[in-house]
């Protein structure tokens, strides 16, 4: 994912997946831990 458009599309695809099992008030309980895990497992 090198360009901005690809990143935006990826974020929206994740948001679409979360809309099913989680209610909007629960997003914060899922996204923050996922972001932290992603950041810690990044090879950079």
Share of the chain above pLDDT 70, in %: 89
Statement: residue 1 has pLDDT above 60: no
Measure CA 40 to chain center: 14
Whole-angstrom Cα distance, residue 42 to residue 9?
19
| pLDDT value for 14 | 82
| pLDDT value for 39 | 77
CA distances for 15 relative to 4, 43, 44, angstroms: 17, 24, 25
Q: For residue range 10-30, list pLDDT tens digits in order.
A: 888 887 877 777 777 887 787
Interior/surface letters 17-43, b for 16+ CB within 10 angstroms, e for the rest: ebeeeeeeeeeeeeeeeeeeeeeeeee
């Amino acid at each position: 994912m090198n360009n901005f458009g690809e990143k935006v599309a990826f974020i929206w695809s994740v948001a679409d997946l979360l809309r099913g099992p989680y209610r909007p008030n629960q997003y914060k309980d899922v996204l923050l831990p996922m972001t932290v895990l992603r950041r810690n497992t990044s090879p950079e």
